[in-house]
Structure 1
Amino acid sequence: MDLECGLRSTALRTSGSWIRRLFRAAYRVCLHRSQVVQLDPLEADRQIEDFPLGYPRYSALVASDTAFYICRPFSKTRARLLLLKQDKIAVLEERLTQTDDQEQSPLFLGMSRADSNPKRREILDELDIALRDYESDDYVERICRILKLTSPSRRDITSLSNWLNGTAALARDETRYLQNSTDLASLDPGDDSLISTVHGLVEDALIRFFKRFRKLSGHTRSRDAHVYLYSGALITRLSRLAISSLMGLLLVIPIAACYATQSVPIRLFIIFFANVALLTAMASFSYRRTFELFLAGATYSAVLVVVLSSSSSGSASQ
């Protein structure tokens, strides 16, 4: 036997055994991990009905769509506390004014270091504490943030109420907050209200007229046949198509109406009416500033005037 060949063959057998051992070890690790993933319920794609009935299931429903993040801002309570804090400071301010007006020594009012009036010092100390309480934890700023929250849509409130009434997941006393629609706020920044409205109309139409809508692959968050939590792209595409068609009609209909008449006053009236319709729709379905509405109306009028003037000059040249 050749010594060198023997050494090489032994090295090959040794390296081959190490490779087999590593492969077996890696296989056992992968098998163990796969078993852990299959047995771990937290890693599985759980549906709403997989959670225990009560707050776990209701929380899963709320977390399934950002539009369901609806809460009470407690506007009346916040206003009451704010008014009480404000009035406390106002009373102390009036007491300070009266003390200054009744001061017998003018020197005390012009030199705080020499001021020996104990009543004024006491009022100032109370004012300092009251103002710190008024501004503590950014109370006023937190109220401003709460007031900036938008109101939830009636559709989302009704959806949560219907689900709670149908499942009886929570006690009635703890779901009564949904009945007070004037004191509800949505934490979802959401899309443009026009998009949300059209999205809801399209979804209602699919639920009512498309019987196989519930069987589409986008309904993966709930097994309940009465729960529609669609996550596919069908509703979004149909909503965009509907909005695009509406915008196209707002541009085409006034132009077609102006083409149908040669009277300048009637054309001006058509342009005016089209602007009013557009601005009304924008003000109703979206939150726009006055300057933005004015700019949109001016741009829309300019487009109509340019199209009509170009068409008039083209017909005149012919």
Structure 2
Amino acid sequence: MSKPKVYITRNLPDEIIEPYKGDLDIEMWPEKEVPVDRHILLEHARTSEGLLTMLTDSVDKELLQQSENLSIVANMAVGYDNVDVVRARKKNVAVSNTPDVLTETTADLTFCLLMATARRLVEANQYIKDNQWKNWSPLMLAGSDIHGKTIGIVGMGRIGEAVAKRAKGFGMKVLYHNRSRKKEVEENLGAIYTAFDSLLEQADYVVCLTPLTDETRHMFDASAFKKMKTEAFFINVSRGGTMDEQALYRAITDNEIAGAGLDVFEEEPILSNHPLLALPEVICLPHIGSATKETRYKMMTLSLDNLVRHFQGKPLLTPVT
């Protein structure tokens, strides 16, 4: 009996792939760091029954329409805005993602980015590297306190809850905005549900963790930044499309907000001449929210487990519904 043919759009470690070769006929893009060429992805999608994709791979109308044998897309990410889920469903193509396994790791990075932005850690590191540290002064590289401040979390999913737990450890007041209230979060963590505008007006740290949808695209626009405190910071570890980068740049240069910590951008990757990189008040990271070896291995394994279960006729562990 032939094994289902699966194409993986990035070169994954042998120790992860080997255990699955008995169930799957696996072929991989040979590059570890470079995304698969679009025409090669389309070519393999036409002849494959399953795809294991990265968030940089567009599983769109063009790909789905021409892939008659395709029956599952296992997307190695929590978000799946790179997959046309509605069209996939119409084509009877299952879609899975990788939630839960990266929750704590991404929450770690989120709070780390908040702290680094508030305390100007990257700027301070560069200060020494540039040989500027000549003496001590009372306000040299003075940042902002974190303990006792108010954090406003937009998007109270699993990662949002994990960030709220960390914030409580710092004695922070936790506000949140979500499309639906989370009573258990309010009871367990003392988080306070509030309207979006009210959150912007009250929070010292506004943290975006909401998925990218038609409703959330550019929800952080010029109007939103104007509502924030002048001493507040904006942290984004969700998707770059949730913010208007030009509006954010203007908000910082016009001193409407104090700064930003960003792990995501509207178009990725960004180049070294990106305007936001020129601002000392901004820390930019290359979309590394879940980037620990332990977590990325778990994401790979979960994606492969979903593929095997699909072809065995078993329910997916983490279906996108």
TM range (shorter): under 0.3
Q: Which has the higher strand share?
A: 2
TM-score computed with the length of structure 1 as normaliser: 0.21
TM-score computed with the length of structure 2 as normaliser: 0.21
